[in-house]
Amino acid sequence: MKVKVGFLGVTHPHSAPHLRTLELLDEVAAVVPWDEDESAVERLRSDTHPKLERTGASFEEIMEREDVPIVVSLATNDRNPDWVIRAAKAGKHVLTEKPVAASSGDMAPLLDAVRGAGVHLGVYYTWRSNPIVNDLRELIEAGVIGKLLSVEGRMITSQVRFRDPTHWLFNKRISGGGILSWLACHWIDAIRYITRDEVAAVSAMVGTLNEQPIDVEDTAGMVMRLGSGAIATLHAGYLLPISPAGYLSGSYDTYLSFRGLEGNITWYPTEEDRPVVVESTSKIWRSTPRRELKYVVAETEAYGGQYGQDFVGRFIASAMRGDPPAGLASPAGPSGPASDGENALRVLRIIEAAYQSSETGRMVSLDLDRT
């Protein structure tokens, strides 16, 4: 079954790759664009986009159209909850960008609207669909590294001067936060997903050190205690001094490692030629205690690569089949089947705990049972 998808917001930093993803999916018949900036939509129509619907449509008209059951919401962080709520109340299934909102307080009415309408909400935490991420998750679950002791993460990218300091991403009132809410959120979510564990407490320091006229953090260090007792550290920042300009061409230095009583796993996600290294003294890997896992990732122009394309395809298929939305019946606990929206809420609360810790100089505890 092919569907038409409403595309709300064509000026978001990720609008172009999200549009390209939809164009690559066979199940998408057409994309119906809208933006408050009508000239931006016209410029988009002047480019080569074979699936772009050429007739104009307002936000309200897209909401009323029965032939558009799914929308992608790409508003600024402060306005995105309103767009998602309006779409949910119109009966639309919604895909939206992380972090979804500028603050966790804006998530409650959004989740209430989604649950009340019985629609699907998907959040572009696409690393959850990465085959390497899912292999790491299964290796840890299988006991290859034994009891988890620590996690190390690094999300470093090009300096603010390469990314337009005047952009709304660097305006706290609009964005809600800086490097933690825009990029490090991916690793916060991935650590939780891979370890199947929740963050119980946070100690952090953040700073605005790039000497640019911005009011969000560009450098951050976090220590997180997981519910199991394992310690996770995360270093994030706009720090690389050599990079092309722009959001989609920035330089990256990323890293994730998981260390346990019986082994460790090391991965450099943005270095595709570098293997994942697994070392283990466990009985199940006794014959080959050190292994280098080489992955050849399928190439595509979709956001997040092939796994990002698959993520959107699965969301559309699930919504159109009428599958029950995950976590709809009741809020999920730390080990339960949380929806994408509930996961996004947890990530926002962890980030806000980091800000609170940095301001007060104290560790901030999180309620593991609260959604």
Predicted model pTM: 0.95
Comparison of pLDDT for 50 and 92, the residue scoring more: 92
Cα distance between residue 363 and residue 357, in whole Å: 6
Task: Reply yes or no on whether the pLDDT at 329 is more than 60.
Answer: no
What average pLDDT does this structure show over 40-55? 89
How many C-beta atoms lie closer than 10 Å to residue 25's C-beta?
Answer: 19
Cα distance between residue 332 and residue 340, in whole Å: 11
The residue extents of the domains of the chain are: 3-126+308-331, 130-300+345-365
Taking only the tens place, the pLDDT of each residue in 239-296 is: 999 999 987 788 999 999 999 999 999 999 999 899 999 999 999 898 999 999 999 9
Taking only the tens place, the pLDDT of each residue in 31-41 is: 999 999 999 99
Asked, as a colleague might, if the bond just before 99 is cis with ω within 30 of 0, I would say: yes
Token pair, residue 337, equals 């089947």
What's residue 299's pLDDT?
A: 85
Determine contact, residues 30/71, Cβ cutoff 8 Å. no
Give the CATH class of 130-300+345-365: alpha beta
Architecture of domain 3-126+308-331: 3-Layer(aba) Sandwich (3.40)
User: Percent of the chain at pLDDT above 70?
Assistant: 96
Cα distance between residue 18 and residue 64, in whole Å: 23
Give the pLDDT band (50/70/90) at residue 55: confident
Token pair, residue 34, equals 């809208």
Taking only the tens place, the pLDDT of each residue in 107-155 is: 999 999 999 999 999 999 999 999 999 999 999 999 999 999 999 999 9
Give the residue from 24, 37, 121 showing the smallest Cα distance to 72. 121
Taking only the tens place, the pLDDT of each residue in 152-191 is: 999 999 999 999 999 999 999 999 999 999 999 999 999 9
Q: Report the relative pairing of strands 252-260 and 263-267 from DSSP bridges.
A: antiparallel
What's residue 227's pLDDT?
A: 97
- Contacts within 8 Å (CB) and 24+ apart, 331-339: 331/371, 332/371, 333/368, 333/369, 333/371, 334/197, 334/198, 334/227, 334/368, 334/369, 335/196, 335/198, 338/371, 339/114, 339/121
